[in-house]
Amino acid sequence: MRLFALSDIHIDHPTNRQWVDELSLHDHRHDALILAGDVSDSIASLRWCLEALARRFHIVLFVPGNHDLWVYREAPGIDSFDRLDHLRTLAADHGVSTQAWITPELAIVPLLSWYDGTFGEYSPELRQRWADFRACRWPAGVDDAAVCARLLASNTTARPVARTVVTFSHFVPRRDLLTRSEKWTFLDPVMGTSALDPCIRELGSHLHVFGHSHRQVTIERDGVTYVNRAFGYPAEQTPESARLHCIDPWLNA
């Protein structure tokens, strides 16, 4: 079994959806895929994508990203926690796991998270331009820090008994993994949380897969390798980013 990583597939872009549609139905029947969030804000598209990937891979493990939790099209009573519950059920119904997958050789552990201001304060420009502030909905009195704390608290803390442990999240677990140009640094505060990395280390992770920043990176920090294999929007893709990435070479590095 080979292990692949993919995030930020954003299949509302037709060419991204087409790429998923054209993935081989045979080549990955014995492989596992980490799908690290940001598929679509449409339930119908999410269902299509999860089903399409589950049909192609032996195992698909998924954490939702921020776009997957947008509820601006839903009735006012539906919030983004409700969407998260819905996605867990949707995933399970289509053969995609949102739970840890553990064998003696390899454990793969999904970690929910959000952003909480630990990467910097929200500027007026960020408050104006960041779509989550209008597209996500949380219960009254629940701010981003509380969302992040609640999602982190829902994660498993039991260190898996496995020779190699892989963790994954949609959000960035350390600010020093951000590689954006100066033009985009105003987004840093909504990229992730510093509270996530201690969880990764508590679980004994060797390799952590993340997404959200739309920058493909492989970086080692204090004994853990962090990889981002974001597919990204068509305008930012390169031949290297717009393909499926096997992350086996980093499993035992």
Q: How far is the CB of 163 from Fe ion (least distance, A)?
A: 31
62, 89, 90, 92 from 84: Cα distances, Å: 12, 9, 10, 12
Residue 214 sits in the site that holds Fe ion (CB under 5 A) = no
Residue 41 sits in the site that holds Fe ion (CB under 5 A) = no
Task: Decide if 50 contacts 20 (C-beta within 8 A).
Answer: no
Residue 66 sits in the site that holds Fe ion (CB under 5 A) = yes
Exactly one of 17, 56, 212, 245 binds Fe ion (CB under 5 A); that residue is 212
Q: How far is the CB of 148 from Fe ion (least distance, A)?
A: 14
Residue 65 sits in the site that holds Fe ion (CB under 5 A) = yes
Q: Is the Cβ of residue 151 or residue 162 nearer to Fe ion in the bound state?
A: 151
Residue 245 sits in the site that holds Fe ion (CB under 5 A) = no
Task: Decide if 247 contacts 61 (C-beta within 8 A).
Answer: no
118, 122, 123, 207 from 127: Cα distances, Å: 16, 7, 6, 33
For residues 85-101, one letter each, b for 16 or more C-beta atoms within 10 angstroms of the residue's C-beta and e for the rest, the string is ebbbebbeebebbbebb
The interface region with Fe ion, picked from 61-69, 84-92, 104-112, 144-152 by CB under 5 A, is 61-69
Q: How far is the CB of 81 from Fe ion (least distance, A)?
A: 17
Q: Site map for Fe ion, 178-207, x if CB under 5 A?
A: ------------------------------
Residue 68 sits in the site that holds Fe ion (CB under 5 A) = no
Q: Is the Cβ of residue 19 or residue 130 nearer to Fe ion in the bound state?
A: 130
Torsional sign, CA 185, 64, 231, 137: negative
Residue 17 sits in the site that holds Fe ion (CB under 5 A) = no
Q: Is the Cβ of residue 59 or residue 136 nearer to Fe ion in the bound state?
A: 136
Which residues, 6 or more positions from 25, have their beta carbon under 8 angstroms from its beta carbon?
Answer: 55, 56
Q: How far apart are CA 66 and CA 220, in angstroms?
A: 25
Residue 31 sits in the site that holds Fe ion (CB under 5 A) = no
Compute how many residues bind Fe ion; rule: CB under 5 A.
4
User: Which residues of this chain interact with Fe ion, rule CB under 5 A?
Assistant: 38, 65-66, 212
